[in-house]
Structure 1
């Protein structure tokens, strides 16, 4: 069997930790930076996502208000039809 001249590191067991990093930079591969740093987040994608969510929020608000107006008009019409908006008729009390 031929062995490579540069042996690869032994595989990690489930109880071992990965190799240490310095400030989020992998020591074995310095090109890979901290995945949580702000410099790795594209600003154009963030603003496009925010605009999409803003548009969705406005659409949902308009739909909710429209449903509320239709429901309110329906309730007022039902109250009028059943005569529940009229003042009650006065009843005379008689003493027996």
Structure 2
């Protein structure tokens, strides 16, 4: 097979990104910028987000444990009220 002498680049597949320019900005969409650089987000925003999620996790954990304790106490009270925690009365065997 003969290749054309035109040095045009190969067509892009749908899963490939177009090549960025030297400064990291996409030629086709310069407003998007380079999505692969972590420098776009300041460290203070990242640490603030991590702290917010850590606080949310702790709050949800405390709420879940509190609900579990209240439910366990309620179940124990119901079992005591219905007499299900007492040993059963002895059964007498009769010879018939």
Q: TM-score, normalised by structure 1?
A: 0.68
Partner of 2:82: 82
Higher strand share: 1
Distance 1:23 1:75, change over 3 A: farther
State how 1:42-61 maps to structure 2 within 5 Å: 42-61=42-61
1:37 aligns with 2:37: yes
CA distance in 1, matches of 2:54, 2:89: 52
Q: Distance in 1 between matches of 2:70 and 2:89?
A: 31
Distance 1:20 1:44 in 2: 30
Structure 1 segments of 4+ aligned residues over 4 angstroms from their partners: 27-30
Count of aligned residue pairs for this structure pair: 80
C-alpha separation in 1, matches of 2:63 and 2:73: 16
CA separation of 1:21/1:88 partners in 2, compared to 1, >3 Å: closer, same or farther? same
Q: State the partner residue of 2:62.
A: 62
* Matching residue of 1:21: 20
Which runs of 5 or more residues in structure 1 are unaligned? 1-17
CA RMSD of aligned residues (A): 3.1
Asked if the contact 2:26/2:34 (under 8 Å) is kept, the reply is no
Alignment gaps of 5+ in structure 2: 1-16
TM-score, normalised via structure 2 length:
0.68
